[in-house]
Structure formats: structure tokens, C-alpha cells
């Protein structure tokens, strides 16, 4: 196993998983299919349900992306996403 392939810490492993969850097209398709099944009704009722589904997707995307960003500072310096400046504490 190459040095670059090995997880150097738990935060790096979490980062890689979150990166897949946020960016993988196949996962996105599964999530959208599930959301479409939950949007039922007609007219105004359907629009309200669709708005809820879209808001839920947006909320979770922001949460996962925030979790991913917070782990960048734990990546090894040779990682493609490593940020030498680090992260400002929020």
C-alpha cells in the first residue's frame, strides 16, 4: 500500500467518507429517488412537500460539507486537499 493511500488518522478516514457522501453521483441519485417517493399529493400540498424535501437535502448537504471542511486540517501534508493555512476556529 502506498504511503498516500494509507489513512494517517481517524479524521482523515472521516474526511474521505464525507467527501464521497457529498460528491458521489450514485449516492446523489439514490437520495433523489428516495426524496421523490416522499413527495406526494397535488397542487399546493405537493409544493409544500417538495419544499420540505429540498430544504432537508440542503440542510444535510451543509452539515456534511461543514463536517468535511473541519477535517481538512487533519489531513497529511501530501494529501491533495491539504490546506497549509489550516482552518479558522468558528
pLDDT at residue 30 above 80? yes
In a domain, 28, yes or no: yes
Q: Is residue 55 part of a domain?
A: yes
CA 72 to chain centre: 13
Overall residue count recorded for the chain in this entry = 90
pLDDT of residue 84: 65
* pLDDT at res. 85: 64
Structural domains in the chain (count): 1
pTM of the predicted model, to two decimals? 0.71
Percent of the chain, pLDDT > 70? Answer: 88
Give the model confidence (pLDDT) of 46-89 as tens digits: 899 999 989 998 999 899 999 999 999 888 888 888 876 655 54
The Cα–Cα gap between 1 and 81 comes to 20
Q: Which domain range does residue 25 map to? A: 7-74
Amino acid at each position: 500500500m502506498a504511503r498516500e493511500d494509507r489513512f494517517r488518522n481517524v479524521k482523515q478516514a472521516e474526511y474521505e467518507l464525507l467527501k464521497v457522501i457529498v460528491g458521489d453521483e450514485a449516492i446523489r441519485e439514490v437520495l433523489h429517488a428516495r426524496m421523490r417517493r416522499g413527495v406526494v399529493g397535488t397542487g399546493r400540498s405537493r409544493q409544500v412537500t417538495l419544499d420540505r424535501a429540498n430544504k432537508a437535502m440542503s440542510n444535510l448537504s451543509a452539515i456534511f460539507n461543514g463536517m468535511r471542511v473541519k477535517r481538512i486540517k487533519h489531513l497529511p501534508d501530501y494529501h491533495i486537499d491539504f490546506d497549509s493555512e489550516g482552518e479558522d476556529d468558528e
